[in-house]
Amino acid sequence: MKKKMYLLLLAVLSLSMVFVAGCGSDTSSAGDKVKISYAIWDKNQKPAMDAIAEEFHKENPNITVEIQVIPWGQYWTKLEASATSGTMPDVFWMHSQSFQRYANNDMLMDLTDKVKGNVDLSNFPKDLVELYTKGDKLYAIPKDYDTIALWYNKTLFDAKGIPYPDESWDWNKMLEAAQKLNDPEQGVYGIIAPPDQQSFYYNLVYQNGGEILNADHTKAGYTEEATEQAIQYAADFSQKYKVSPTVQQLADMSREQYFESGKAAMAMFGSWMMGDFNANEYVVKNCDVAVLPKGKKQATIYNGLGNAVSAGTKHPEEALKFVEFLGGEKANTIQAEKNGAIPAYKGTEKGWVDANKNFNVKVYPEMMKYAVIFPNSETREKWMQLETETFSKVWAGELSVKEGCAEIAGKIDAMLATENK
């Protein structure tokens, strides 16, 4: 037992060490030179974050910002470990999926009054601000946003004589094209249709007039006919029409790998994929992007990251000054021009479009006029895991769509009932 406890403690300490270098031990005095840490998970965005930190340092020569890149697969484990050991980074990226848990456990600094007068929240989409607000307290400043669009392989379309996707496309055209482009002999699928929330079926649900949660987040929308119809349409690509890889195939080879190797004619991807696609010679040469086809109406899911401050930072004044800078027009303009992500600050997205000349990426910010914010609640992490597990069975043919939706609806309703409204 003692040995197990020792090993557990050792594991927590080792995971947290990655953050220690950027965390000071004492609160600084005015004029002291201070180093603060800024944790992120996307290496493709590091050049943009470095440029922002450099510009901040020019204006605040006594403060140095150290960028720490922790891959997504390790980020949350290490962040949790650092919170336990008191070595959290001073400032860090926060994802809406994990926000509620960190806010509930007092890991995030309440920014509500601290940034008042220095950060104008009206410069950001209201839904993004609310995504990082709990009760009447703000815990993160919006950093960026992402929408979902339809990527397609021009070479495969040209070979079949099929016109490229555009604003006129609807669900019928997308299915018809997927069937024509599907080529089993060449190992090419017409479309990638995974049981993925943000990058696939959530978009279809809202396009069909359905919902994932009702307006006051007290009930799941999976028993609604419109929602069930959208899930059926999504599952049918692989189950009925055989124009998408199966769940098992997607477990063996990712949808990104299918698309980047020319083995899929179409797939839905978020704007966060631009770093990878710009670096992929095949995609640059053969592929492009269009708005999502419409169902009963146009819709795309949008989400966004926030910049948060550790509640236990040893340098609160400096950390706040940096997060305020991150929430300003200058930092967001740099983020756009350095191709970091679509900045959340209104009016700065053109720089991001101009930085991505290989593709028709203007469709991403253009879709914001009918974008739907990612559904969110306190128990989101749990019910998203439930969706993934259940719909993987539906996509595999182990459950019908009706059975899967009914099972998910009942369990999500029970989770929502436990939340503090």
Structural domain boundaries in the chain: 18-145+303-345, 148-302+374-417
Closest CA to 288 of 155, 185, 167, 159: 155
Q: Which whole-number Å values give the CA distances from 340 to 21, 280, 331, in the listed order?
A: 24, 17, 11
Instruction: Name the token pair of 137.
Output: 């307290």
Closest CA to 383 of 351, 411, 353: 411
Biggest CA-to-CA distance, the chain? 70
CATH number belonging to the domain at 148-302+374-417, selected among 3.40.190.10, 2.30.40.10, 1.20.58.760, 3.40.50.150: 3.40.190.10
- Rounded CA separation 281/260 (Å): 9
Question: Residue 14 is inside which H or E element, if any?
Answer: helix 2-20
pLDDT of residue 32: 83
Write phi, then psi, for 138 (nearest 5 degrees): -95, 130
CB contact set of 127 (below 8 Å; sequence gap of 6+): 302, 373
Domains 18-145+303-345 and 148-302+374-417 share a fold: yes
> Which class is 18-145+303-345 in CATH?
alpha beta
Burial grade of 407 (CB within 10 A; 0-12, 13-18, 19 or more): middle
Question: Residue 149 is inside which H or E element, if any?
Answer: strand 148-153
Q: Which whole-number Å values give the CA distances from 402 to 202, 235, 382, in the listed order?
A: 17, 12, 21
Instruction: Name the token pair of 112.
Output: 């509500």
pLDDT of residue 392: 97
- Rounded CA separation 335/354 (Å): 12
What are the residue ranges in the chain where pLDDT is below 70?
1-31, 421
Supply the pTM of this predicted model.
0.91
- Rounded CA separation 323/332 (Å): 12
Pairing of strands 141-142, 306-309: antiparallel
Instruction: Tell me if 393 sits within 8 A of 405, measured CB to CB.
Output: no
pLDDT of residue 420: 73
